Amino acid sequence: MSTPLQIAVCGSIVPDPLQTLEPVTGPGGPSLKNEMMLPAVLDPWAAHALFEAAHLAQTAPGSQVWLVSLGPKAKLQQVMMTVAQKVPFELVALDGPASGFTDSFETAAALAAAIAAIPGLDRARLLVFGGWESASRGAGSTLQMVGERLGITEQFQGVDQLALTGDGSFEILERIEGGRHQVSVCAAPPAVLGWATGRLPEPRNNPQIGMANMRAIMPALQRAKATPMANTGLSFASVSLPRQQRETRIVKDMPAEEIAREIVAWIAEE
Amino acid sequence: MSQPGIQRQTMDVDIVCVGFGPATAGFLTTLSRSLVNPDGTPALESLASPGLPLQVMCYERADDIAFGVSGVVTRARGIRASLPHLDPAKIPMAAPVSQEKVVYLLDPAGASRRSPMLRLADRIVRAFGLHRHHGVELPYTPAFLHKHGGLVMSLGQFMQFVGSELMASGAVQIWPGMPVERAIVEDERVCGVCLSDQGVDREGNPEAGFMPGMDVRAALTVVGDGPVGAVGRQLDGQFGLPEGHHQREWAVGMKMVVDLPSSTNLEPGAVFHTFGYPEPEIFGFLYVHPERVATVGIFVPSWFHSPMRTSYRYLQHFMLHPYLWRYLQGAKLRSWGAKSLQESGRRGEPFLVGDGYARIGECSGSTNVLTGSGVDEAWTTGSQLAAAVLELLQQGRPLTKENLEQTYVARRRASWVEREGRVAEKARDGFHRGVIPGLIGMALAGFTNGRRSIGGEPRLLPDLKEYYRRKIQPAELDHILEACRSKGVSCHNALMERCGWPAIPYDGQLLVSHQDALLIGGKVQAPPGFADHVRFLYPDFCERCAAKMCIEMCSGQAITPGPGGIPVFDREKCVHCGACLWNCGTSLDDDPQHGNISFTAGAGGLHSTEN
């Protein structure tokens, strides 16, 4: 039988896909125009990590999953009404900014402190999950710094698969160049895993899971500690969106190879 | 349909709500304040889960609580009664109404279908120079149209504001992304709802990850699922409508939210109501929000007797009208959306209550077609139901039809919603005779408190050849239809241009293709794993249908011409407006009140919070 695990998943909210983003600069630095008005979703990279964590917890009975989330409380609450229906977890909420313009160093410090403060945390059973990237914070460094602050040296990035073995170790597939995977075996927790897309589909919305989760999520939101980000020492030389090129076409039943050929040809034109 | 052998989960709660729109928001806001004592103990104990507070669940089919659509300018009487300290400054896009204008729009394109009488009136207006920018501002706004003291809002932002407050209270739970398939009816009593199956193919057959929809059983089912909601229509089918009531008047409202150019001189709270263009039957609006944002849109009603009626193309011509274009030139699209409106109002009212259920909001006939108001009325009916439910629960009385009639229905009948709904009941009947009789009828009803009106009955739509008789020869018409349909596109663009409507000068900012409006404005998406919610019941009927109005009126181009003349539905483009439902021109032999389209609950749709 597997040892029960403690999995802390770091993840926050990002604007819902297809939203029009417009960077603006104010006295506090850059931000997104109307950010609080935009609908939000759980960062897709973190969502993969959360679903993998829940799946892993099922295979190791007695395991616990926490979603450690730094974001504006009101928005977190709204997003939780959808996320909570997916898989069982407890929320550790930090009330602070979730835009793409916060310092990853400060973010990592806040997340690491929140994880370290989880009651009953057992480092010998701890796995820290998160996205290896973020749809809004693309530094790719936050999770590594969370691990370092927690003193966890076993770190894996671009993970697509984690399989428990009977002896407490686990095998990890990490993405490497050339579309291939590197296979590693980690002897035991603690470890940090930055997930790529994983291999699980998005779970269905399950009202019963939602109700069970909400019993702990609402109190967690009420307890959420204000966590301002000073962005000390951080300055932005310029902020811009990637140049948009819209050539919208809706195609159905087109073979993937043909789509790929068209895209390659289109890129080659640039 | 559930797979044999896989059992549905069942959950017992006290109250289950279908749909989170303004009516349910009003219901939950009023209810939630009385569920918990100041010391945190339950004020009302759950019968479903003894020892816990009342268990109240709300299921919303859209993927977020803020994805609703309405062009909201409201007197906000009911909203303010529930939220007396409401500060518009705390709700993004909300502003007090600052000025109101009613404008008659002339036809600068020369393509509008105007009656001889209207053409004569237009000539007189032009001859005497009574217009500015091809628009005639009426010297005053009739009192029944006034929204003085009211608010211009975004429904999405208002729902987000209210929903956040509700969820933070912890007293009720709102679950988005969860369509309700049907009500559970046992022995004429509604016992809860059944949620939609997930992990199914387009036809609803189980596939990987199949999860049957849960049965949520409750002592009270609150039905607030809007004008085309699956549960409301199920109950209408099951219990019928009160004698003399009917739901045969509809409209599609389509809108854009835009960033106005920096040079704009429009003040927040400015409200423009228009009529006369792009077709005389189409009403329009422009509301100004704070920070140079505006909502601009049109209503295309069912009494617009065109078998090629459509909305997106007309919305573009509306925006291009010189009276509006002087404000909109240089504007940029932020959001887009569409919805159906149940325009029968009080006369479309179903049975408001039954054993175990109550109806609130637009699906309960609360929309007022004379004042052009629905959000505040919907909110108020929800609030009235909450007060009634609290009274019954506090007295330990069951939620039966009789008790709900004595409490909820009695409150509603004694309120301004009923009083004004009665005034509006026949206000628009005259439009079935024509635009001028319709406008006179509205004025008569408004000025006589509903005692006078001009009567009229819905007519059958003319056939395509008859409709285009004076402009397009039958052979050419056939050729255009065939050419469009063979390309898999709707026909109204080609036909409108053939009839003199100018091409749209796309600018990539505000004047964009219909598909770009979906992507840039509506951000339309659909999650996998749900069945198609639009189906064509008898394909052979569709083959024989000449007009295929479901395609022309589809707000999202989700219904397109298909092989053999049978339309094809694409769930990923659907905005769930329900226009296909009431625009199907084919009546079923065994049920002439209904068309050949099945429109059920489905997930996905708009992902904009600004509509």
Closest Cβ–Cβ partner in A34, A39, A207 for B195: A207
Is pLDDT at B320 greater than 90 in this prediction?
yes
Chain A residue with CA closest to B214: the answer is A207
Other C-beta atoms closer than 10 Å to the C-beta of B588 total: 14
DSSP states of B312-336: HHHHHHHHHSHHHHHHHTT-EEEEE
Mean pLDDT of A225-254: 80
Interface test with B, best of A36, A79, A82, A205 (most B CBs within 10 A): A205
Q: How far apart are CA A188 and CA B475, in angstroms?
A: 79
Contact A34 B519 (CB under 8 A): no
Give the tens place of pLDDT for each residue, B59-68.
999 999 999 9
Q: Are the C-beta atoms of B323 and B336 separated by less than 8 Å?
A: no
pLDDT more than 90, % of chain B: 91
Give the tens place of pLDDT for each residue, A173-199.
999 988 899 999 999 999 999 999 999
| Tokens linked to B119 | 């053409």
Give the tens place of pLDDT for each residue, B467-499.
999 999 999 999 999 999 999 999 999 999 999
Whether the bond into B242 is cis, omega within 30 of 0? no
Q: What is the pLDDT of residue B363?
A: 97
Give the tens place of pLDDT for each residue, B575-593.
999 999 999 988 877 777 7
Chain B residue with CA closest to A200: the answer is B209
Buried b (16+ CB within 10 A) or exposed e, B137-170: beeebeebbebeebbbbbbbbbbbbbbbebbeeb
Q: Which residue has the tokens 């960077």?
A: A23
Full-model pTM: 0.94
Contact A248 B163 (CB under 8 A): no
What are the residue ranges spanned by the domains of chain B?
Answer: 12-81+156-245+346-423, 93-151+247-344
Model confidence at B4, pLDDT cuts 50, 70, 90, reads: low
Q: How far apart are CA B488 and CA B162, in angstroms?
A: 42
Is pLDDT at A117 greater than 50 in this prediction?
yes
Q: Are the C-beta atoms of A45 and A132 separated by less than 8 Å?
A: yes
Buried b (16+ CB within 10 A) or exposed e, A77-115: bbbbbbbbbbbbbbbbbbbbbbbbbbbbbbbbbbbbebb
What mean pLDDT, rounded, does chain A reach? Answer: 91
Instruction: Look at A97-106, B114-123, B483-492 and tell me which has the smallest mean pLDDT.
Output: A97-106
Alpha helices in B211-367 (DSSP H): 230-239, 312-320, 322-328
Structural fold of domain B93-151+247-344: D-Amino Acid Oxidase; Chain A, domain 2 (3.30.9)
Contact B199 A204 (CB under 8 A): yes
Q: What is the pLDDT of residue A166?
A: 84
Give the tens place of pLDDT for each residue, B326-341.
999 999 999 999 999 9
Rounded to the nearest 10 degrees, what angle do helices B435-447 and B416-424 cross at? 140
Q: What is the pLDDT of residue B2?
A: 46
Chain A residue with CA closest to B171: the answer is A218
What are the residue ranges spanned by the domains of chain A?
Answer: 6-226
Nearest by Cα to A99 from A47, A185, A35: A35
The CATH code for residues A6-226 is 3.40.50.620
Closest CA of chain A from B547, distance in Å: 25
Q: How far apart are CA A14 and CA A45, in angstroms?
A: 10
Contact A208 B9 (CB under 8 A): yes
Closest CA of chain A from B224, distance in Å: 19
Model confidence at A137, pLDDT cuts 50, 70, 90, reads: low
Closest Cβ–Cβ partner in A81, A208, A248 for B515: A248
Contact A214 B173 (CB under 8 A): yes
DSSP states of B459-502: -PPPPHHHHTTTTS-HHHHHHHHHHHHHTT--SHHHHHHHTTPP
Q: How far apart are CA A35 and CA A38, in angstroms?
A: 5
Contact B525 A20 (CB under 8 A): no
Structural fold of domain B12-81+156-245+346-423: FAD/NAD(P)-binding domain (3.50.50)
Q: What is the pLDDT of residue A35?
A: 84
Model confidence at A3, pLDDT cuts 50, 70, 90, reads: confident
Mean pLDDT of B139-145: 88
Contact A34 B92 (CB under 8 A): yes
Interface test with B, best of A22, A77, A78, A218 (most B CBs within 10 A): A78
Q: What is the pLDDT of residue A22?
A: 85
Is pLDDT at B299 greater than 70 in this prediction?
yes
Q: What is the pLDDT of residue A247?
A: 66
| Tokens linked to B284 | 């329009």
- CA-based end-to-end distance of chain A: 55
Q: What is the pLDDT of residue B583?
A: 95
Mean pLDDT of A156-175: 94
Is pLDDT at B349 greater than 90 in this prediction?
yes
- Centroid of chain to Cα B342: 7
Q: How far apart are CA B418 and CA B415, in angstroms?
A: 6
Contact B167 A77 (CB under 8 A): yes
Mean pLDDT of B55-84: 95
Closest Cβ–Cβ partner in A34, A39, A211 for B66: A39
Q: What is the pLDDT of residue A136?
A: 78
- Centroid of chain to Cα B231: 16
